Structure 1
Amino acid sequence: MNDQGLQPFGLAGSGTLAAERNRVLRNTYWLLAVSMVPTVLGAWVGVTTGFAAAMSPMVGLMVFLAGAFGFMFAIEKTKHSSTGVYVLLGFTFFMGLMLARLLASVLGFKNGSSLIMMAFGGTAAIFFAMATLATVIKRDLSTMGKFLTVGAWILFFAFIANAFLQSSALMLTLLVLCLGIFSAFILYDVKRVIDGGEDNYISATLSIYLSVYNVFQSLLAILGIFGGERD
């Protein structure tokens, strides 16, 4: 068979692969949007009941770590079935609940509601900018993931250490680094789906959700530090 005979098969295979990647990306965006509903609900429950604020910082940290890693383990085990979607949504409710302490603190400012809306708008702008960049950039970003992962783990342990140190300067530095690293993670994770490096939309949603969550949390904390107005 000559090259001309092989060409239609190759084009068909390429088209099928592209269609599958687009399907995964669409499902990821859809599930990411849906996941914001339980997040907001969890945050509302947390703020109105004072659930997160009632816990001491150390107890809150332990509950957060146990819950977050427990949910992520369950999501990994169920990601190939519809159950994974419900576990993911349960996880996002939990993450909203854990966000309530920061939200309640910011709402204590006179301009707290405005700061939250600014953080939301800034997070949306960062997400759309990174997602758009991922669709146009041609460079392979696979090696970028290793550096970002190492950076994320360093931040993780640094935040835990600062829970004991209580350093305001270190906290601000970590928040700025967190904002930068997880903004880059959005670019990396969306690009992975586009390039076919991630073919499970539940796993892709989890990764992007965590990045968006950390960007919002970091941005809100920074805005609260510099823009909060007391009565």
Structure 2
Amino acid sequence: MNNQVHASTTQRGESVLQTNKVLRNTYMLLGLTLAFSAFTAFLSASMGLPRPGLIITLVGFYGLLFLVHKTANSSMGLLSVFALTGFMGYTLGPILGMISAIGPQGVEIIMTALGGTALIFFALSAYVLTTKKDMSFLGGMMVAGFFVLIALFVANLFLNMPMLGLALSGLFILFSAGAILMQTSAIIHGGERNYVLATVTLYVSIYNIFVSLLNILMAFSGDD
């Protein structure tokens, strides 16, 4: 009986250590990828590189995302993550360059979006880490939300309605917030043991929140 209790205690201790390791590695890699993405965005903006079209962006993103998933369990996974986040930074550079060219108001918009993104991410992460709440119940809603977003995105490509675009940005923020809650919960409850995949999920969520906030702020500034 004592041996069973000892074994159970040992397993729980090892599980906690593993969880803490995944969480630590995830946040460390997330910080590095965000910094690298910011660097590539700065280079893209300062060099005046053209904004890639929708096709190039989608092919680049999903192609590199596929590569990340294929290499996530090998040393190549880290290179794949930086390739993906670097590419996303490049796509963001022309957008930031265009907004900053407006003048002080443009810089203010960028800083507000950046601050709002940081606030949302840290608030959501702190909530899950503090409460230890299992957020897996969001799975069904996230799947439904994904298909709704895809349908509205395709519809807006043809309709090009400003109000629909604003609604999409708001929905992207909600969807990304749900992804942050679920991913953080999966890490602390042992459902995610690969910090490479966890990092990519959090990075993409942060990217989407930032871009969506930029769209909303630009629309309300009157400079869209």
> TM-score, normalising length from structure 2?
0.93
1:78 corresponds in structure 2 to 71
- Could you tell me which runs of 5 or more consecutive residues in structure 2 were left unpaired when the two chains were aligned: none
The one-character-per-residue Cα deviations of 1:194-215 (angstroms, maximum 9, x if unpaired) are: 1111100000001111101101
Matches of 1:99 and 1:75, distance apart in 2 = 20
How far 1:139 sits from its partner (Å)? 3.8
Matches within 5 A, 1:6-85: 6-53=4-51, 55=52, 60-85=53-78
CA separation in 2, counterparts of 1:201 and 1:176? 28
Gaps of 5+ in 1: none
Written as runs of structure 1 = structure 2, the 5 A alignment for 1:1-231 is: 2=1, 4-53=2-51, 55=52, 60-110=53-103, 111-227=105-221
Counterpart Cα distance in 2 of 1:48 and 1:157:
35
CA RMSD of superposed structures (Å): 1.7
Partners of 1:224 and 1:18 in 2: CA distance: 44
Residue 136 of structure 2: SS of its match in structure 1? coil
Contact 1:79–1:85, Cα closer than 8 Å, also in 2: yes
Name the count of aligned residue pairs.
223
How far apart in 1 are the matches of 2:149 and 2:94?
20
- What TM-score results when the alignment is normalised by the length of structure 1? 0.90
Distance verdict in 2 for CA 1:229–1:71, change over 3 Å: closer
State how far apart, in whole Å, the 1-side matches of 2:30 and 2:147 are.
23
Deviation at residue 50 of structure 1 after TM alignment: 3.2
Distance in 2 (alpha carbons) for counterparts of 1:137 and 1:98: 36
Summarize deviations over 1:56-96 as a string: whole Å, max 9, x none.
Answer: xxxx1100111011101110111111211111011101001
Distance in structure 2 (CA, Å) of the matches to 1:169 and 1:101: 23
Tell whether the 8 Å contact from 2:173 to 2:209 is kept in structure 1 after alignment: yes
Indicate if the aligned counterparts of 1:112 and 1:228 stay in contact, CA closer than 8 A: no
Spell out structure 1 runs of 4+ moving beyond 4 A.
none
